[in-house]
Structure 1
Amino acid sequence: KGRAKGQAEGRIEGRVEGQAELLLLQIERRFGPVAGDVTQRVRCAQAKDLETWSLNFVDAATLDDVFGD
């Protein structure tokens, strides 16, 4: 039971890390080199924030548009 829970948590964590890395790649492709504070913000974000930012990215004209700042 504990092992299954740990595996499930690991899959979720891996998925969130993958979402963060993909978003960073997309940001770099569109807007150029990513500042350290942006990288840190994305890598420390919760899944809900990553989802919101990824959807915002589609229509974003600026980096601020991605984060809704």
Structure 2
Amino acid sequence: MIKELDIVTLTHDIQEHGLKKGSQRAVVHCYADGQAFEVEFVNDSGKTLALLTLEKADLHVTSDLG
């Protein structure tokens, strides 16, 4: 089960945002249905690169911090 603050890994590239398979970032919101999640991708300086709504199939839980 994916929860807020979990660290997740992308299961595929998202080319339109320059994100590569294997990119890791934090879940910042879980929708009530448990099927969609807001994930924030940041660079090394902490600048947000993308804030995306993704589905379970797009993600793999790397670290359960939530």
* Shorter-normalised TM range: under 0.3
**Structure with bigger RCO (C-alpha 8 Å, 6+ apart):** 2
More strand by share: 2
- Structure 1 or 2, whichever has the larger Rg, is 1
Question: What is the TM-score of this pair, normalised by structure 2?
Answer: 0.27
Question: What is the TM-score of this pair, normalised by structure 1?
Answer: 0.26
